[in-house]
Amino acid sequence: MKDISLHILDIAENSVTAGAQTVRIVIEELPGQDLYRLVIEDDGKGMEPDFAAKVTDPWVTTRTTRRFGLGLPLLRQNCELAGGSLDIDSKEGKGTRVTAEFRLSHIDRPPAGDIPATLRLLLAANPDLHLVYEHRSANGTFVFDTRQIKEFIGDLPLNHPEVLRMCSTYINENLLQIGAECQTKNDSKLAENDINH
């Protein structure tokens, strides 16, 4: 996976598959510590201790469509290549917390990627999911919470094209305001494509 946003999408989709009702995503850019930290936490079914200990092995997976899983093994490899580490804390019946750390200045650290598009895809596919996204940079903190969005939009579903477009714009503008690392695509039709394809 070439950027962090794709890792976020992969892990969050795993959380939903594991029955999560809430997924919390936190990114911290900490120049003073030369640290880029990604934390994804869910309230899904969690993993058995034996499986959790082996989950970064590419030959270990719960999928029935293929015989190996590459998401977490690739994330671990990307962390280690960038002078960081990957930690997975999972409690059966309670949920899972994935913490990925990279040296912020490391030449091999994957770029952030298109965070607004990733969150938009998660909303489009999982409109009932309680999604919390928090991004902290040296210039401030931004928090996006779907419960607050639902209060604002009333009866409209979260995966309505206009709502998706609004959320994407809102996330993008706030990430720019705090100077967060983020690649965005200014394509107003992308939100509609999430629904129509």
CA R_g for the chain: 17
Q: How far apart (Å, rounded) are the C-alpha atoms in residues 32 and 53? A: 32
Checking if the pLDDT of 64 tops 60, the result is no
Q: How far apart (Å, rounded) are the C-alpha atoms in residues 108 and 80? A: 9
More confident: 65 or 16: 16
Q: Could you tell me the pLDDT band of residue 52, with boundaries at 50, 70 and 90?
A: low
Q: Could you tell me the pLDDT band of residue 123, with boundaries at 50, 70 and 90?
A: very high
Checking if the pLDDT of 190 tops 50, the result is no
Q: Could you tell me the pLDDT band of residue 10, with boundaries at 50, 70 and 90?
A: very high
Percent of the chain with pLDDT over 70: 81
Residues 6+ apart with CB under 8 A from 88: 52, 55, 56, 72, 96, 97, 98, 99
Checking if the pLDDT of 186 tops 70, the result is no
**What is the model's pLDDT at position 184?**
60
> What's the mean pLDDT in 27-56?
86
Q: How far apart (Å, rounded) are the C-alpha atoms in residues 95 and 87? A: 14
Question: Which range is least confidently modeled, 19-33, 54-68, 160-174?
Answer: 54-68
Checking if the pLDDT of 54 tops 80, the result is no
**What is the model's pLDDT at position 47?**
81
The CA angle 114-21-13, to the nearest 5 degrees, is 40
Residues 6+ apart with CB under 8 A from 100: 4, 7, 37, 38, 39, 75, 78, 79, 84, 85, 86
CB 23 within 8 A of CB 97: no
**What is the model's pLDDT at position 53?**
62
Residues 6+ apart with CB under 8 A from 81: 106, 108
Task: Please give the model's pTM, rounded to 2 decimal places.
Answer: 0.86
Q: Could you tell me the pLDDT band of residue 46, with boundaries at 50, 70 and 90?
A: confident
140 conformational bin, left if phi > 0, alpha if psi -120 to 50, beta if neither: left
> What's the mean pLDDT in 62-71?
46
Q: Could you tell me the pLDDT band of residue 171, with boundaries at 50, 70 and 90?
A: very high
Residue tagged 């930290």 (tokens):
37
Checking if the pLDDT of 98 tops 50, the result is yes
**What is the model's pLDDT at position 69?**
43
Residue of 96, 100, 69 whose CA lies nearest to 4 = 100
Residue tagged 């990627």 (tokens):
113
